[in-house]
């Protein structure tokens, strides 16, 4: 695995307090983001080698990466029935190939704005609690689908 010493995504242990590992293998890993409390069904697909762009990968690796993103999306759709799934690959702050896969709901605090945008309403504690209660089942389904 190629790594950059100053890249936080090259050091998975740097994110242990803010993510939980759902699945992974030699090429990529999937984590659930824990430090976005209003958006509990927020996942990242992280390519393990330090590359900045999708086009840095071979066509077969690119297909594997995108297949993983699609698998995470599909499991979220089946397990959480979101209004929409947001996909983002920004990398402006951390130039290491990773995808944000976020289940969004018409009741969430920011919908239809992006989660990094302006809140539209207060969080709905009951719906968030119900979604949080489903995450172990969703994580397990995701791990199984990614193996």
pLDDT in tens, 65-105: 999 999 999 999 999 999 999 999 987 788 899 999 999 99
Give 1's pLDDT tier (boundaries 50, 70, 90). Answer: low
Structure tokens at 53: 């762009």
Tally of domains in the chain: 1
CA 8 – CA 30 distance, rounded (Å)? 15
Residue at 1 is within a domain: no
Residue at 84 is within a domain: yes
Structure tokens at 132: 């949080």
What's the CATH number where 65 sits? 3.30.428.10
Give the domain range for residue 13. Answer: 8-146
Residue at 2 is within a domain: no
- pTM beyond 0.85: the answer is yes
CA 65 – CA 55 distance, rounded (Å)? 11
């Amino acid at each position: 695995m190629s790594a950059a010493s100053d890249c936080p995504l090259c050091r998975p242990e740097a994110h242990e307090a803010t993510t939980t590992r759902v699945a992974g293998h030699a090429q990529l890993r999937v984590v659930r983001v824990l430090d976005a409390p209003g958006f509990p069904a927020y996942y990242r697909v992280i390519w393990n080698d330090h590359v900045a762009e999708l086009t840095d990968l071979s066509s077969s690796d690119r297909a594997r990466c995108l297949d993983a993103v699609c698998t995470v999306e599909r499991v979220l759709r089946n397990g959480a029935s979101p209004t929409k799934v947001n996909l983002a690959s920004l990398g402006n702050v951390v130039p290491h190939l990773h995808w944000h896969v976020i289940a969004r709901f018409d009741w969430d605090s920011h919908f239809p704005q992006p989660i990094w945008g302006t809140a539209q309403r207060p969080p709905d504690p009951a719906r968030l609690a119900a979604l949080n209660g489903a995450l172990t089942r969703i994580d397990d389904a995701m791990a199984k689908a990614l193996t």
